[in-house]
Amino acid sequence: MWKAIKICWWWWMSALAVMAFAAAQSLPGCLQKCGQVEIPYPFGVGVQSGTGNNNCFFQEAFQMDCRNSTLFHGNAEISSISLKGQMDMCMPVSRICFNDTGGEIGKISVSLSTPGFTISSSENKFVSVGCDTYGYLNSFQNSHTYSTGCLTRCYGVPSYQQDDGTCSGIGCCRVDIPLGMRNISIEAFSFNSQQKASDFNNCSYAFVAKEGWFNFSTADLRSLPFDKALLVVDWAISDGTCENERTSQDYACKSNTHCEDSGYGFGYRCICEPGFEGNPYLPEGCRDIDECKESTHDCTSEDNCRNTVGSYECFCPRGYTGTGTKGTGCHPPWRHNSLTILHIVASVGLIVLFVSVAWLYLIYQKRKLMKEKEKFFRQNGGDILQQKLSVKQDSSLTAKIFTAQELKRATNNFHDSLVIGQGGFGTVYKGILPDNTVVAIKKSKLMEQSQIEQFINEVMILSQINHRNVVKLLGCCLETEVPLLVYEFVNNGTLFESIHNKSKACAFTWETRLRIAAEVAGALSYLHSAASTPIILRDVKSANILLDKTLTAKVSDFGASRLMPLDQVELATMVQGTFGYLDPEYMQTNQLTEKSDVYSFGVVVLELLTGRKAVSFDGPEEERSLAMHFLSSLNESRLFELVERGMVNDENEKTLKEVAELAAKCLRLKGEERPSMKEVAMELEGIRMTGKHPWINKHFNNAAESHSLLPQQTSRLTESVDSIVYRNTAWDSITDGVPIDLDDGR
């Protein structure tokens, strides 16, 4: 009975000690809480009761004041204090307001003397609110002042200029706070008091706010709904460092703690050592954690746990073996009996059986995978391709056949994070080959068996194309259900992005656009007339033209392309392409010709000229088709109204007009009246040359002499723009019922 009483007494006293420690965050005889806010030492209010004049705070900088159940530090209201070195406080908003006549009716400037604290640069933002407002955040240290701030303007009713929740400079601005700002003042100013007097917004505000606490609304411009803002300050002990303060009498870190410099220029903080907990600033320091009682150990049970100073250890009872941890536990002494031997034999037998079955299964799966790869290889025309390659062994331009394993490793098993493009013909991944070559790997959609031989022929022909403005096909993989094509990697996005992304378009000059147009025309001319078998791309558009780091154009995506037999000038196919770029004649007749690419190229030239998309449903109906809108504007002599703003100047006006006329010729309704891509390429090169060397025109007094400098084939391209526009505007609508592929072709 006495033993039970002693155990109960010991447990009760231990519980009291734990509870007393949990509550003892302040010095004895000092205020523990003010309202709902705990006051941990080194912070404190007043002096210790019963000790004379001993302060409840460590330094004057940590002195607090409790008034009406609210904790204050100076003029700032404290809402929470963390021993990890941060404190939340509410600070008044600085403001300046004006009456109807522009007279100042109220100005509040805010200051906070915080010698031991700094405004947290990671947890706060400095904010100004108003329509003609600028705010300053000043810091005063060592007889020096440094400041930060921001300004905001808006014109008219702000709801038409700014969205709720957005604080980007119109009606509201927000900036980062520099590291180490203390002893601060905040001031709000107005640019124009008279404007304030007549405006819906008659006040300007400035304040520091905790990240995420303030969410701007346009209603704040009429009246800010709060007078105080929540902010975070970082606090530290003194102005010294751990190394300098460790030997001083006022060193704050007590037993079982270590010191850590604050990291923002002055002061240090104290942290409990691993295995200890509590308030590291109290005289008794941090106490040892009993991991065995608090179940923070990995022993098999509390009975197998022994607490040590700052840690614990696991053990097994006498007569047992093991570590006493949950991983291995404790085991009785070894006994050589038949049951143990039987268990061992059975376990070994099960392991052998399991390993054998797993080994046979792996062999089966490996053979199954090899057969599947062989099946796909033959199904995708691998035998045909190998036969063709064997004939061209001496050529350096033939395609390489990659294994599926090579391309899986190159793309991290075709991970989604490496997808760089998707379209109607497949998905494109970025890959890195073993020799560190970066490639683009296209995973096509399912292919009809009847198209295999044509696919192999295309691979052979495309792999032999060696043109600086055509994306190089490096090879393919035929061991997968759908063939994989491997292209050179072009790393600067598409022409579509450069034209229509306003942040890129600003640096996209007319000279660059003209050069790109000439490069694309040269590539298409090569495909039409210089390749061993003519190739019609069929989906010429800005999204299928890639740009490298030097903004050199690369024609890509041959998923919709067709080989044109040498004895044919047109090919009957199902209409396929992208709406806005499709040749109207091709859509009506289903007859694909080289001139279909010429029409699509003309639309790309219009994009370069105007910065507009081929099809847009945002404006009036007559402006939805860029081609029709362009021809109409050209006919009405409104060309330069359509050209992208800021691109026209005295030096390039003539060049722009010549390119526009060439684009109009490409957009003729009848394919036979359009120029060939070879003629277009030569014409563009001639325009570029005259643009680069204006002295050419100075030596000749008429257009005929100027054109004599250009290739003779271009002479028939000089007919008047009026006749071109007339022939194009004669077409009213596209024949109904023609199947159109609206996919982007990538």
3-state DSSP of 575-622: CCCCCCCCCHHHHHHCEEEHHHHHHHHHHHHHHHHHCCCCECCCCCHH
Contact 314, 56 (CB under 8 A): no
> Other CB atoms closer than 10 Å to residue 307's CB: what's the count?
17
Residues 465 and 527 in one domain: no
Per the domain annotation, does 58 fall within a domain? no
Q: What is the model's pLDDT at position 392? A: 57
Question: Which pTM was predicted?
Answer: 0.47
Instruction: Name the catalytic one among 539, 557, 597, 744.
Output: 539
- Convert 265-311 into a string of H (helix), E (strand) and C (coil): CCCEEEEECCCEECCCCCCCCCEECCCCCCCCCCECCHHHEEEECCE
| pLDDT tens digits, 486-497 | 989 998 889 999
Total residue length of the chain: 746
Using the 8-state DSSP alphabet, how is residue 742 labeled?
-
Which of 442, 424, 443 is closest to 742 using CA atoms?
A: 424
646/351 Cα distance (integer angstroms): 78
Dig out the tokens for 582 from the structure: 């499709």
Find the CATH number of the domain harbouring 299. Answer: 2.10.25
C-alpha 131: how far from chain center? 32
Among 235, 251, 271, the domain boundary falls at 235
Question: Token pair of 459, please?
Answer: 């691979």
| Residues 203, 217: Cα–Cα separation, whole Å | 15
> In the chain, which residues have pLDDT < 50?
1-23, 158-160, 197, 335-337, 394, 396, 695-696, 698-746
Q: Are residues 735 and 612 in the same domain?
A: yes
Q: Residue 196: what pLDDT?
A: 58
Sign of CA dihedral 386, 387, 389, 390: positive
Domain boundary at 473, 489, 505, which?
A: 489
Contact 197, 101 (CB under 8 A): yes
Residue 472: which domain range? 374-384+396-489
Q: Identify whether residues 93 and 194 lie together within a single domain.
A: yes
Residues 655 and 553 in one domain: yes
Burial per residue of 13-26, b for 16 or more beta-carbon CB atoms within 10 angstroms, e otherwise = eeeeeeeebeebbb
What is the DSSP secondary structure assignment for residue 529, as one 8-state letter? I
Residues 554 and 468 in one domain: no
Q: Distance between CA 423 and CA 732 in Å, rounded?
A: 30
458 with 499, same domain? no
Q: Is residue 107 a part of any domain in this protein?
A: yes
> Is the CB of residue 501 less than 8 Å from the CB of residue 507?
no
Q: Is the Cβ–Cβ distance between 59 and 42 less than 8 Å?
A: yes
Helix (H) or strand (E) holding 360: helix 338-379
Give the span between the Cα atoms of 532 and 544, in whole angstroms: 22
Does 538 lie in the same domain as 456? no
> H helices then E strands: how many in the chain?
19, 38
Task: Answer whether residue 263 is part of any domain.
Answer: no
In this structure, is residue 525 part of a structural domain? Answer: yes
| Nearest alpha-carbon partner for 531 in 565, 559, 554 | 565
Q: Is residue 156 part of a domain?
A: yes
Give every CB contact of residue 458 below 8 A, 6+ residues apart in sequence: 558, 561, 563
224 and 162 in one domain?
A: yes
635 shares a domain with 552: yes
Cis, bond preceding 42 (omega within 30 deg of 0): yes
Within-domain flag for 178: yes
Q: Is 228 annotated as a binding residue?
A: no
The per-residue pLDDT for 328 is 81
> What pLDDT is attached to residue 726?
36
Determine phi and psi for 10, rounding to 5 degrees.
Answer: -65, -40
Residue 31 included in any domain: no
Query: 730: domain CATH number?
Result: 1.10.510.10
Task: Work out whether strand 438-444 and strand 484-488 pair parallel, antiparallel, or are unpaired.
Answer: antiparallel
Which pair of structure tokens corresponds to residue 419? 């997808």
Tell me the C-alpha distance between 91 and 114, whole Å: 12
In a domain, 716, yes or no: yes
464 with 534, same domain: the answer is no
- What CATH number has the domain bearing residue 98? 2.60.120
Catalytic site includes residue 100: no
Q: Which amino acid is at 58?
A: F
- Count up the domains in the chain and report the number: 4
Same structural domain, 485 and 513: no
Kindly report, residue by residue over 355-389, the tens digit of the pLDDT: 989 998 888 888 877 777 777 777 666 666 666 66
Q: Are residues 322 and 204 in the same domain?
A: no
At 451 the pLDDT is 61
Q: Which two tokens stand for residue 494?
A: 């598409």
